[in-house]
A = this chain, B = another copy of it.
Amino acid sequence: MNSVKSRLKEQVNALRSQAIMASAHKLLAEKGYEAMTMDDVAERVGMSKASLYKFFPSKEELAAQAMVVVLDEALALIDSLRDDPEVKAVDCLRRLTRWAMQTKLDGEMPSLPAQNSALSEALLAHEPYVDRLLALSMKLGVWVSQAQTDHDVDPGLPADFVLYQLYARSCDPVLGVMKDDGRYSRDQILDWMLQVQFTGLAPH
């Protein structure tokens, strides 16, 4: 009897938690980590700031978990692409990069400060985050090597460098500027970005 009540409570709390996460996720994408305040999150989710802290112990934890959500989506996409052995490695990289940039354009990619921040340290100490980041880099690394073997990516480039290039596209400021311009469709922007990434500004 008591256990029925408590299970219900747990579910309600899980929903609360998810609602907070959703609001934070969106705000992190819209304003970025530093500009987002816990008051913003509280207001959007519709509860007091003190209550937020019953679910998430800190702003950093909120950001880390938002990144975990996105990284899990990326890992899921990777696994779905790996099921089809017909697709070339470079096309897998292309699709994942497109997905990341699309997420950014749709306002669903959290933007966190890269360096020189207290957050960076907290992230590196956050096991769930680090685990997923390593898993992602591992799997992408395999594709990069394969694409280089296939001569679809220049084998002269260090694999790390290629990986960083792909990660960097998901926070490329060009995306925001082109979107704000308003003259171009989302797909058109993505096509151009991918074209430049893989074949450069030069005609192909």
Contacts and interface: CB of A to CB of B under 8 A. Distances in A.
A168 B173 contact: yes
A18 B168 CA distance: 35
A202 B204 CA distance: 11
Given A199-B200, A202-B153, A174 B168 contact: yes
A181 B200 contact: no
Interface string A160-204: 111011011001111011100100100000001001111111111
Interface string A18-41: 000000000000111011000000
Nearest to A34: B34
Interface string A110-132: 00011111000000000000000
Number of copies: 2
Contacts of A157: 192, 195-196, 201
Given A161-B192, A174-B165, A152 B35 contact: no
B161 A174 contact: yes
A24 B74 CA distance: 39
Contacts of A46: none
Contact of A201 (B153, B172, B174, B181): B153
Contact of A116 (B30, B192, B198): B30
B196 A199 contact: no
B173 A114 contact: yes
Contact of A203 (B116, B155, B164): B155
